[in-house]
Amino acid sequence: MRKHLVYYALIALFGLPLVAVALLAVFAGASGSALIDLVRMGWIGFVLARLLLLFLIVLAVRRLWRTFPRLAASITALTILASGAFTVVKSSSPSGIYGFVGEIEPMNDAPDLAPDLYHKDHFWRLSAGKVDDCFGLICQHYGRYEKRGDGWVVIHELKEPYVWKLNFSILGFRLISDNGATAFYPRRIIAFPRPYWMPDWLQ
């Protein structure tokens, strides 16, 4: 038992961080970002937190298989079905809640510029064709999203309207225009506004 604990601890302390860096390097190459910039923005913690959660789930299921194999089989089957259904649903529409990781010069960090938004959790909400830019419980209408012949788009409706191409997956989305692409906004696990002291990777 003690050997297993040491083995799992070594995986958590050394194996998972290496996997997180490798995944982040792949993401950096695909997005055109520099790996060091993503690390400075806090993406390493964001990826590592999800890997650690997945690792703990695998350990729990493994223990369950050894103790209650029939119950474990039922839970595993339900989990696979639920994950498949979630993937299908979220791959067909961009609706959901998306966060910011390592946001540069956020409005909620400027008390003189926007005192009502100061130190509020910043996230996107896409629902029923509407796009809201949210700071805590305060949501501002940004525009709308719709599917066209060449894919999904976001129509920005503040001041002069213009159209973004919406590139999304079950992991998150980015907006693309002729001038380039925005940052990648990851899909959030939590659906409620988080306290400002909570780090980016806990969302």
Alpha-helical (H) ranges within the chain are 2-10, 16-31, 35-41, 43-67, 69-92
Q: Please, which residues have CB within 8 angstroms of residue 178's CB and are 6 or more apart in sequence?
A: none
Tell me the per-residue pLDDT of 101-136, one tens digit each, with 9 for 90 and over.
Answer: 877 656 666 777 777 788 888 899 999 999 999 988
Tell me the per-residue pLDDT of 27-84, one tens digit each, with 9 for 90 and over.
Answer: 888 777 788 888 888 888 889 999 999 999 889 888 888 888 888 888 889 988 988 8
Average pLDDT, the chain: 86
Burial class of residue 124 in the structure, from the number of CB atoms within 10 Å of its CB (0-12 exposed, 13-18 middle, 19+ buried) = buried
Q: Say what the pLDDT of residue 120 is.
A: 85
10 Å Cβ neighbour count for 166? 21
Quick one: tokens of 200? 């980016």
pTM across the whole model? 0.82
Residue with tokens 């780090």: 199
Tell me the per-residue pLDDT of 166-202, one tens digit each, with 9 for 90 and over.
Answer: 999 888 999 998 888 888 899 998 888 888 788 878 8
